[in-house]
Amino acid sequence: MMILITCALLASGATKHEYSHESGTSLKMDASVQTISATNTWYEGIVADPVDCQGPGTYSFLTNSGHPWGDGLNILFYVPPSSGYDAPWWSYTTIRDYTGTREYILGYNECCEEDQWGDCVEWPMLDLVAGTPGYTLEDAYPYRTGQVNFNGTAGVRTTWSISGVMDITEEIEMTGTMFDNSRIRYTVIITNRSGSGRNFGIRGFFDINVAGNDGAYFWDPVNGWRQDEEGWNNPPFRYYVVSEVYGGGTRYIYGNISDSSYGMTPTKPDRFSYAYWGDYSSPFGNGLWCNAWLDCSAQNRNVGGTDASVAYWWGYDGNPIYLNPNQSFTATTYFFASPQPLDIQEGPAGQGGPIFGVRLASPVVREDLRVIYILTREADARVGLYDLSGREVVCLARGLAKGQGEISLPVAELPVGIYYLRFEADGDARTLRFVKQ
């Protein structure tokens, strides 16, 4: 990621907005003045403030000291102060004014910062974001009206007012009273101030990073695990999970679509996308991040092993949010992070099987095949091993509890070769290949 930043800086010719640091101090020493934080025991939301090159409004999410993962681990990508820049500007919000054919980035894309030698260091990353053909792209920075903590220091509220068009509020809040019910709440409110009916849209973009792993793998209870990008209109699942390992690793990030458990009040998006963040061309071309509104997921690229992001659209193409004068619309979603998917709530029958993930401790074995599984509910499971002819050579059936577990199957007596494992639970199934040496 840092190599890409350097390339972008060299390519940019943005207008400079100078912010002079106090004489004799370095960016590393006073980086914290560029952000405002929303915190509780388990999470921290870091939001760029009006002093930051990309603020106010861009955001990142991290774990806090009480989280089981440990302190200061990424949920959304973040450049920490130790790098010299306190930079939460990889995730941002776009507001589309369909009626006025404008798109507003809730951030600032043209700036300059002085290092300890007084030289200007440009970080105009949002200047690389492109508007949609037919729409004028504009920073919301000139329209900022305020930024404050609320609910003590648990939340950050940032506001903008575009005269004759709309008022905008963005809230990032750490909710809950214990780890099990703590959530990161993201809310955007738009209010029509135009004096007549007007059409709007909102896109929330989130650059997923699982504790330093940019290539996040995606799971939902309808489709199971995937690593290729895809977008859904009226997404058919209530929640989704990303992990650093295909089939489930040791860390999981939960994202909400329409799940109302634990007191959450989400606004179901019209469209949702799991897609590529960017790539090395143009620079960062063909990705979600570099487009203020467009979705790149139809390209079906491998996201899991590269750089994954998700995006929510409320008021998507063909279905704008119509607001009468002074009428408001609120879009809300939630995130949380867990060392295992214990907080996943299984829906009614027919909304997906109980298998959250199945993986092998090693795909090459000699004595025992260790199968690691995660179930979203208690289930009767059957595990079978098959040779290349389809003949079953080992079988095990037993009832398994909800959560993560492990099954060990003896394979020492099997001939050397390639085999398949089939893990079945209440009509749900996964198939994996392994090599017996």
State how many domains the chain has: 2
Assess if residue 349 is contained within a domain: no
Question: Which string of b and e fits 392-407 if b means at least 16 CB within 10 Å?
Answer: eebeeeeebebbbeeb
285, 376: one domain: no
For residue 432, what are the β-bridge partners? 421
| CATH at 409 | 2.60.40.2550
Assess if residue 343 is contained within a domain: no
Segment 282-338, tens digit of pLDDT: 545 678 888 899 999 998 888 888 889 999 999 999 999 999 999 999 999 999 998
Closest-CA residue to 175 (of 24, 385, 333, 364)? 333
| CA–CA separation, 344 and 403 (whole Å) | 10
pTM over 0.85: no
286, 201: one domain: yes
Assess if residue 157 is contained within a domain: yes
| CATH at 183 | 2.70.98
Instruction: State the residue range of the domain holding 271.
Output: 2-338
402, 333: one domain: no
Assess if residue 326 is contained within a domain: yes
pLDDT band at 114 (very low <50, low <70, confident <90, very high): low
265, 384: one domain: no
Whether 113 shows a pLDDT value over 60: the answer reads: no
334, 360: one domain: no
Average pLDDT, the chain: 81
Segment 12-36, tens digit of pLDDT: 222 222 333 333 333 323 344 578 8
278, 426: one domain: no
Least confident segment among 18-27, 80-89, 310-319, 381-390: 18-27
Per-residue pLDDT at 31: 41
Assess if residue 397 is contained within a domain: yes
Assess if residue 223 is contained within a domain: yes
Tell me the percentage of the chain whose pLDDT exceeds 70.
80
Least confident segment among 77-81, 124-128, 324-328: 124-128
Q: What is the mean pLDDT of residues 168-179?
A: 95
Where is the domain boundary, 338, 363, 389? 338
Assess if residue 345 is contained within a domain: no
Per-residue pLDDT at 281: 56
Where is the domain boundary, 310, 338, 366? 338
89, 158: one domain: yes
Report the DSSP pairing between strands 428-436 and 392-400.
unpaired
| CA–CA separation, 383 and 323 (whole Å) | 54
Assess if residue 344 is contained within a domain: no
428, 294: one domain: no
